Amino acid sequence: MKFFTTSVAVALFVAISRATAGQGASAETPVAPRLLSQTGLYADVAGLKVDKRNRTFSPQYPLWSDGASKRRWVRLPEGSQINVADLANWELPVGTKFWKEFAFNGRKVETRLLWRTRQDRWVFASYVWNDAQTEATLAPESGVANIAEIADGKRHSIPSVTECRSCHDSNRTETLGFNALQLSDDRDPNALHAEPLTDEMVTLKALVNENLMTPRRSDLVTTPPRIEAASPLARTALGYLSTNCGSCHNTKGSIASLGLDLRNTTGAECAAIATTVGKRGHWVVPEARQTSRVINPGSPESSSLVRRVRSRRPISQMPPVGTVVVDRQAVELITSWVQGNPEEWQRLTARCAAQGS
């Protein structure tokens, strides 16, 4: 595997980062530090030992990132609480920081920082790891193309800040892997690419027991949220779509007019069913223009959802950014789900229609 992080490249990143970090920011406005070691992630920089105040967590439905190994941490300001009055839209305290580390073939490539510096401002930053794996330097806001080879003829690119915001900023800034469904202790055993929970990971139970939520939600421990789907296969498919599609396809984002609602934060399945099954959609399968539907039950070949998950052509792929490698497991999952028993699909759509009436 070849890496772009030569000494010349790192020097370029430093020069651009210094120029970029101060643009549009007053002296009172925090900006991303030049080095990852300056962000507060590590207690021991030399040994890259993560500060114990930074808590690791694992979403039950991870975003597909071309097979990257990922580690995630969150740090809440001391004495603060997450406002969960609206369970579907958590309000994180000012000062909250998230880090997500991406590694390919055992080597760290980038670490992303998401930092709430004001009520109305989040800092987005990505850091590029050096060849020695000892430090990472702030990338330019425009991102870095083709930084690491991840498959034959395929290379990973660090996204621009604009691309990061295209997923995280819908009608508000969202932390896609840190919500009630993602942190639920009722984990989907079939979730694709999910990492096993460890004792130190933050879950809903930990947040409630440590009094890190307001108002207190004991029900999230006794009855943790889950996708109440018609089958285990449907539960897993809807969870995957929520993470990989729902950040854009929801009722409040910039493309809400398309009519799809795949975002699921608390467990309900019917919004996704009602807006996809039998719906024409704005993109049609070229070989099945007359019968093409977003989901055409029993017919994956005429379901645009299946085709777009399977594609990596810029004009048709879904998600449109952040991935250059097809998620084969997801293609098999979504295909099997759509191919399912027509009678089961009829019962499901009828039940969801009745709930909406």
* 316 and 264 in a common domain: yes
Residue 2 lies in a domain: no
* 78 and 32 in a common domain: yes
Count of domains observed in the chain: 2
Predicted TM-score of the model (pTM): 0.88
What pLDDT sits at residue 283?
A: 95
* 314 and 218 in a common domain: no
What pLDDT sits at residue 344?
A: 83
Domain boundary at 194, 222, 250, which? Answer: 222
pLDDT at 175 over 70: yes
| Residue from 251, 291, 294 nearest 273 by CA | 294
Domain boundary at 200, 222, 244, which? Answer: 222
Q: Which residues contact 311 (CB under 8 A, 6 or more apart)?
A: 317, 318, 326
* 153 and 126 in a common domain: yes
* 127 and 74 in a common domain: yes
More confident call, 86 vs 170: 86
Domain boundary at 170, 204, 222, which? Answer: 222
* 286 and 212 in a common domain: no
Residue 256 lies in a domain: yes
pLDDT at 215 over 80: yes
Q: How far is CA 264 from the centre of its chain?
A: 12
Q: DSSP string covering 46-102, please?
A: TTTEEPTTSEE---SSPPP-TT-EEEEEEEPPTT--EE-SSTTS-BPPTT-EEEEEE
What pLDDT sits at residue 172?
A: 66
Residue 1 lies in a domain: no
Q: Give the pLDDT band (50/70/90) at residue 173.
A: confident
What average pLDDT score do residues 120-140 get?
Answer: 97
More confident call, 1 vs 65: 65
Residue 47 lies in a domain: yes
Residue 76 lies in a domain: yes
- Which of 55-59, 194-198, 272-276, 312-316 ranks highest by mean pLDDT? 55-59
* 210 and 129 in a common domain: yes
What pLDDT sits at residue 174?
A: 79
* 266 and 307 in a common domain: yes
What average pLDDT score do residues 196-218 get?
Answer: 96
* 148 and 27 in a common domain: yes
Q: How far is CA 178 from the centre of its chain?
A: 9
| Average pLDDT of the residues of the chain | 89
Residue 144 lies in a domain: yes
Cα 350 to Cα 355: distance, rounded to the nearest angstrom: 9
Residue range 17-52, pLDDT digits in tens? 443 444 444 446 799 999 999 999 999 999 999 999
Instruction: With beta carbons less than 8 A apart as the criterion, state whether 143 and 157 touch.
Output: yes
* 238 and 204 in a common domain: no
Residue 41 lies in a domain: yes
What pLDDT sits at residue 9?
A: 38
Residue 300 lies in a domain: yes
Residue range 276-291, pLDDT digits in tens? 999 999 999 999 999 9
* 20 and 92 in a common domain: yes
Cα 147 to Cα 151: distance, rounded to the nearest angstrom: 12
* 243 and 209 in a common domain: no
Residue range 300-312, pLDDT digits in tens? 999 999 999 999 9
- Three-class SS state of 245: coil
Helix (H) or strand (E) holding 40: none
Q: Which residues contact 301 (CB under 8 A, 6 or more apart)?
A: 285, 287, 288
Cα 348 to Cα 341: distance, rounded to the nearest angstrom: 11
What pLDDT sits at residue 48?
A: 97
Q: Could you tell me the residue range of the domain that residue 303 belongs to?
A: 232-356
